[in-house]
Amino acid sequence: MKRNGTIAAAVLTVALFATAGSSAQAQSANPDKPWSVDFGLGWDNSISGNINSGAIGTLNGVTTVITKNSYEDVYGTGLHLRFGGGYLLNSNTEVRATFAFQSLDADLTPMGQIGSSNLYGQYSDYQSLSLDFGVRQYGDINPKVRGYGEALIGFGFVDKTDVTLAAPGANLTQKANDFYDQTAALSLGVNVGVLVQAHDTVGFFGQIGFRRMGGMDEIDNLQGTGLETINDNSSRWTLPFIVGIRARF
C-alpha cells in the first residue's frame, strides 16, 4: 500500500509540474499582481479510515476483544487551518504552497471487552501539520466571482498518539504510550472553490475538497498479545470545508 501511494504521488507530481510548465509557455507575461497570500479556517470532517482495527487476543492474561473504531467514531469533526501563497503563471493558472494544520479532540470510546467487562479507550488528540504544493486553475463566473479547482501533494507531520485503556468491571487501567509514533506521512488533496473579489487586491473564498493523509507509524508494544494488528491501518480521508481571505500583490 505504501509503495502504491508513493507511485501515485510521483505521477501526480509530474502531472502538476507539466501543467504548470505548459501554462507558463502559453503566456510569457504575468498579471500586474502575480503574488498572493491567503488564510483559511474551517472544519475537518473524517469520512474514512480507522484509528484502530478489530482483533481478539489477551491483556494481562485475560481474553480481550477489540472492536474497530473509525476516526469519525473517536474524533468527529475537528479544526482545519490553512496559510499559504501562490504565484500566477497567467490569468487563470496559479502554482501554490500551503501549510495546513489539523487538530481533533478525542472522545471516550468503547473498545470492546476484556473478560466479562466492557473495555474503553481514551485517545490523545490528533494533530498534524503539512506542507502542500500544487496547481490551481481559475475560471470566470462573472467579473467579481471566479471558480477554481486545484490539486495538491505534500508531506504531513502527525503527532504521536497515546491511548489509555480502562475496564471498570475488571479494575484495569493500562496506558499504551506511543500507540502511534510521530510520523511523516504523504498527503494528497483536491479542492473546488469560489473566490469573490471584494477589492482590487482583496477577496474572500470558500472551498470544499477531499484530502488523504497517509498512515501513522505503529508501535508494537502489544507484541505477543494477539492484538498487534489493531494499529496497522491508519491512513485517513477527510472532507475539509474552508472559508478565508486572500490578498494579492
14: amino acid identity, one letter: V
Percent with pLDDT over 90 in the chain:
66
Q: Could you report the per-residue pLDDT of 111-127, keeping only the tens digit for each?
A: 999 999 999 999 999 99
Asked whether the CA dihedral 28, 31, 35, 41 is positive or negative, the reply is negative
Question: In this structure, what are the phi and psi dihedrals at residue 234, rounded to the nearest 5 degrees?
Answer: -125, 15
Higher-confidence position of 178 and 248: 248
- Residue 56 makes CB contacts below 8 A (sequence gap 6+) with 63, 64, 65, 66, 226
Q: Could you report the per-residue pLDDT of 20-42, keeping only the tens digit for each?
A: 443 333 333 346 889 999 999 99
Cα 106 from Cα 65, distance rounded (Å):
21
**What is the count of structural domains for the chain?**
1
Closest CA to 50 of 67, 34, 63: 67
Higher-confidence position of 31 and 82: 82
Q: Is residue 139 scored above 60 in pLDDT? A: yes
Confidence of residue 90 (pLDDT cuts 50, 70, 90): very high
Q: Could you report the per-residue pLDDT of 172-211, keeping only the tens digit for each?
A: 888 776 788 888 999 999 999 999 999 889 999 999 999 9
For residue 156, what are the domain limits?
2-248
Domain of 148: which CATH number? Answer: 2.40.160.20
Q: Is residue 1 scored above 70 in pLDDT? A: no
Question: In this structure, what are the phi and psi dihedrals at residue 70, rounded to the nearest 5 degrees?
Answer: -85, 165
Task: Please state, rounded to an integer, the average pLDDT across all residues of the chain.
Answer: 86
Query: How is residue 169 annotated by DSSP?
Result: G
Q: Is residue 234 scored above 70 in pLDDT? A: yes
Cα 42 from Cα 149, distance rounded (Å):
18
Name the CA dihedral angle for 47, 48, 51, 52, rounded to a multiple of 10 degrees: 140
Q: Is residue 148 scored above 90 in pLDDT? A: yes
The continuous run of DSSP H or E covering 32 comes out as: none
Cα 1 from Cα 11, distance rounded (Å):
16
The pTM is what?
0.79
